[in-house]
Amino acid sequence: MSLWTSDEIAAATGGTASAEFEVSGVAFDSREIEPGHLFVAMPGTQFDGHDFVGKAIENGATALLVSKPQQHPHVLVDDVAAALEALAKAARARLSDEAVVIGVTGSVGKTSTKEALYAALDRASLGKAHRSVKSYNNHTGVPLSLARMPRDTRYGVFEMGMNHAGEIAALTKLVRPHIAMVTTIAPAHIENLGTIEAIADAKAEIFEGLEEGGTAIVPEDVHQRDQLVKAARKHAARTLTFGSGEADAAVIHSVPARAGGSLVTARLPGREVTFTIAQPGAHWVMNALAVLAAVGEAGADVAVAGLALADMGGLAGRGARHRIKVNGGEALLIDESYNANSASMAATLATLGAEKGRKVAVLGAMKELGEESERLHAELAGPVREAGVEQLILVGDEMAALEAALLGEIPITRVENVELATQALQQTIRMGDAVLVKASNSVGLAKLVSAMAGGR
């Protein structure tokens, strides 16, 4: 079954097809093109996608979506970005009435939660689930993810991110979720939004796109809980909370699992379940509660979803665990290099604290914190102490505040860049160590992980 035909693309976008064709995929990065794909020649601030048409064809593109005539099969439109959005709307509109679409946002954990939801629903539907890949969660990534959705999708899971107010409102109206979830609220992007309450308002925009009769899922254990619930109830027929205490989806009991991760007994709406999560840490227990609440609301098999959580491995940059060779044996490296804010730093440091062996942390700067940056970096001293970190490598000028807060307590090496951080870790690491690597993505600590883990 083709993803799109030339006639469908032309009808959706208002464009003109130069020939009849069918495509099996969609991409706007010529490096992601595979044989049979449609290449979307997106305009950009630095590059024009039309300049990469040749590379896309070389990589196997069957056809093009363009605003300039081409010699290869194509659909010609006035505005390529607008055409991709129109194709996204058409993809959403052609889903069956039985399909369930879930939107996910939050300051922390949205990609991990999205991936866990996809794993659970794909298993429950025998391969009929679809999700946004990577972190395609912005004004171009969400339309692309929708345009890639197969026509027979049973469950669609879409991540939505933002840097400014109003961005999620536009995305959720494209996605039109039946279930909309906020994972948590933390001071990410506070430089742009000003206050934590403004961040919560921006995340709550996801509820504005809910389909009639839709469900909102919000975190119980954040200070903005009531703010989120109030916003959700304006658009949702049903609002559920997840977390501790009296939450609709709540932990009854959680203990470390024998093979790693956690063994959890939880109360969900209408049922009580016991399941295992492969990933360690209290934050993953919270992620799992949100996932299972959404699975139940979607009408899928919660027991099967629990099996998927037990089998789910760590994601690159978001908890992947590497056993690396060091003199005399092995050490554990926990890759959290993709993103960081104060909440996710605290959560992953707590995970490090539960590991055996000497605790080493390689921490890079948290970005987009504005005037709060110095204070929030300094406040990481508490989670570092609680984790029992015995060796600390800090990357970037912003980390000077944390260095000052811990001065004299533990050995600290502060460096300017990833290359120096890699050298420092190579000189420090020893057999039996547990090493956490975490920073905002722009710091580039993924390069350190690649160097230490042998490119795996």
Residues tagged in the binding site annotation for ATP? 106-112
Q: Name the nearest CA neighbour of 115 among 355, 372, 338, 271.
A: 338
What would you report as the CA-atom Rg of the chain, rounded to the nearest whole angstrom? Answer: 23
Query: 141: number of CA atoms within 13 Å, CB side?
Result: 15
Taking alpha carbons only, the member of 26, 22, 16, 20 closest to residue 49 is: 26
Q: From residue 212, give the alpha-carbon distance in Å to each of 159, 180, 396.
A: 20, 12, 47
Phi, psi for 113 (deg, rounded to 5): -65, -40
The CA distances from residue 111 to 20, 114, 192, 212, 352, in Å, are 37, 5, 21, 26, 20
Which string of b and e fits 73-106 if b means at least 16 CB within 10 Å? bbbbbeebbebbbbbbbbbbeebeeebbbbbbbb
Please tell me the distance from the alpha carbon of residue 177 to that of residue 297, in angstroms, as a whole number: 12
- Residue 319, classed as helix, strand or coil, is strand
**Could you tell me which residues are annotated as the binding site?**
106-112
Beta strands 100-105 and 63-66, pairing class: unpaired
**CA proximity to 71, closest of 57, 82, 84:** 57
> Coil, helix or strand for 425?
helix
